[in-house]
């Protein structure tokens, strides 16, 4: 798929954001509505099945009917060269998987705040009869404003259970899929809640409840074993939080929470040590509704009809009127205090805004470590968003490229997309071979997990028979077993020994 391609006659694919077992995710631009979007294109090996393609189309349209602040909204369905795709809201930020990798074990308040939002999205979906079926950290985006948005509603259902054995799909989901789904049972809301419990466990401990050498081993362990208590990994977790998580991870779905809101309430209670606040219910008396006292204004009796007024006690009415002037004076003083505070905040904000330039130049992030790139962005009143990829020859965690070129003038606080290196799959640092003999160079490479490649010769001022150059360079990184070529010094013709008969 070329980056300049236009699909659906309106969506320009600008940048490949991610690749996975199900397909590709692209940053794109809607030429018709002039807005950024994300386009997820289904892998052709999956879409080749007409039934899968039809389910994908149907579920994409069903997902488009969902709307919630904690969902990545689906806008459209497209097809390109027989590969179906969905157009959805572009969430600028990072996946929850990246957040966990960087921060776990996470602060309890931060983790619960994010999980609450995931549960809010699931509650809205379950209320309309939609089950996600593939809740996992890569399917939760954390926006620049800290808001969590759940993505890919309906895609797991569209692909069907048969594709759980597809390479790449089971590997990403087996840690989070509920036991009943492994048994072949139908997906239901408790399965989504189980996956959410696994995510919270991982956020708070940095571990997953079940691990194994293969996906099958991981799946089998959850069918017969209870997860290790999260407090075994993190002693400062409260018993209440441990109990809330373990209930979500019950093997039998009937033993879990009945709804996402029930699970949210249990987690919030465990995090704060007190039950979540509930609105005071209205009471009824003789068929007439009596509002809670806090909801009644001071002169409420004058607004009620004659029949309702008889329900109020006369003494309470007299007391309200007696204290009304005092209440009014206090209310005025409180209002003036609040107004002064607001004006002070606005003044401070204006002062800081005046110090921030409206437009700035984008600096060079190339080869910087991620932490240094963040500091440089902050210094220049910018923000950064990262994607990662495996890259030979680059130190892990360093910037490989930036989408907006250095020197470009942009608005303050613009987000600059960066690509970070993960290093090669098995990272080996190339040693400095300068001045070594061929045998010494081969030994050094073997110790580093690398191999000796081509050996060529050239004249130099260095000692004969020693390394004068190498490729790739020392200090870079390569996959284990990769070869390193060397150039070795050879003696010039005048230095060479003459053979028998006076010939060279």
Task: Give yes or no for a contact between 443 and 431, defined as CB atoms under 8 angstroms apart.
Answer: no
What one-character-per-residue DSSP string does 46-67 give?
HHTSHHHHHHHHHHHHHHTT--
**How many Cβ atoms are within 10 Å of 504's Cβ, its own excluded?**
7
**Main-chain dihedrals φ then ψ at residue 75, nearest 5 degrees:** -100, -35
Residue 82 catalytic?
Answer: no
Residue 338 burial (C-beta neighbours within 10 Å; 0-12, 13-18, 19+): exposed
Give Rg (Cα) of the chain: 32
Provide the angle, in degrees to the nearest 10, between the axes of the packed helices 108-127 and 96-103.
160
**What is the distance between the alpha carbons of residues 339 and 351, in angstroms, rounded to a whole number?**
18
| Residue of 30, 116, 123, 134 marked active site | 134
From the list 390, 393, 367, 366, the residue with the least C-alpha distance to 470 is: 393
From the list 170, 183, 163, the residue with the least C-alpha distance to 223 is: 183
**How many Cβ atoms are within 10 Å of 8's Cβ, its own excluded?**
17
How do beta strands 415-421 and 383-389 pair?
Answer: parallel
Burial 287-310 (b: 16+ CB within 10 A, else e): eeeeeeeeebeeebbeeeeeeeee
Active site residues: 134
């Amino acid at each position: 798929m070329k980056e300049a391609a236009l699909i659906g006659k309106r969506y320009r694919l600008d940048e490949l954001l991610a690749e996975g077992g199900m397909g590709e995710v692209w940053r794109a631009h809607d030429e018709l509505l002039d807005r950024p979007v994300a386009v997820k294109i289904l892998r052709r090996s999956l879409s080749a099945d007409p039934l899968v393609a039809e389910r994908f189309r149907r579920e994409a349209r069903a997902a488009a009917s969902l709307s919630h602040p904690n969902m990545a909204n689906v806008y459209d369905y497209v097809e390109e060269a027989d590969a179906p795709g969905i157009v959805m809201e572009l969430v600028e930020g990072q996946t929850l998987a990246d957040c966990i990798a960087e921060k776990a074990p996470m602060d309890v308040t931060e983790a619960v705040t994010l999980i609450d939002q995931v549960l809010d999205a699931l509650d809205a979906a379950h209320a309309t009869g939609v089950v996600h079926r593939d809740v996992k950290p890569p399917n939760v985006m954390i926006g620049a404003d800290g808001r969590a948005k759940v993505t890919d509603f309906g895609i797991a259902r569209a692909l069907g259970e048969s594709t759980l054995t597809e390479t790449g799909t089971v590997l990403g989901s087996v840690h989070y899929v509920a036991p009943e789904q492994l048994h072949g049972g139908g997906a239901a809301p408790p399965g989504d809640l189980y996956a959410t419990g696994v995510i919270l466990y991982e956020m708070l401990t940095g571990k997953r409840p079940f691990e194994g050498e293969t996906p099958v081993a991981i799946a089998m362990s959850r069918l017969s074993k209870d997860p290790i208590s999260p407090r075994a990994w993190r002693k400062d977790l409260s018993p209440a939080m441990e109990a809330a998580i373990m209930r979500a991870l019950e093997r039998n779905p009937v033993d879990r929470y009945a709804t996402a809101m029930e699970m949210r309430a249990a987690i919030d209670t465990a995090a704060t040590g007190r039950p979540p606040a509930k609105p005071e219910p209205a009471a009824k008396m003789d068929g007439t509704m009596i509002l809670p006292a806090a909801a009644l204004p001071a002169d409420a009796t004058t607004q009620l009809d004659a029949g309702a007024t008889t329900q109020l006690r006369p003494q309470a009415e007299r007391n309200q009127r007696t204290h009304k002037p005092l209440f009014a004076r206090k209310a005025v003083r409180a209002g003036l205090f609040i107004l002064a505070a607001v004006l002070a905040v606005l003044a401070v904000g204006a002062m800081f805004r005046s110090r921030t330039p409206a437009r700035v130049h984008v600096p060079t992030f190339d080869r910087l470590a991620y932490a240094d790139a963040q500091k440089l962005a902050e210094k220049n009143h910018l923000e950064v968003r990262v994607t990662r990829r495996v890259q030979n020859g680059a130190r892990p965690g360093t910037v490989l490229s930036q989408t907006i070129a250095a020197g470009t003038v942009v608005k303050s606080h613009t987000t600059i997309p960066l690509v970070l290196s993960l290093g090669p799959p098995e990272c080996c640092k190339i040693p400095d071979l300068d001045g070594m003999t061929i045998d010494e160079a081969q030994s050094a490479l073997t110790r580093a997990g690398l191999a000796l490649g081509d050996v060529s010769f050239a004249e130099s001022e260095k000692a004969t028979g020693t390394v004068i150059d190498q490729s790739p360079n020392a200090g870079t990184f390569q996959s284990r077993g990769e070869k390193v070529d060397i150039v070795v010094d050879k003696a010039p013709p005048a230095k060479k020994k003459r053979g028998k008969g006076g010939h060279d």
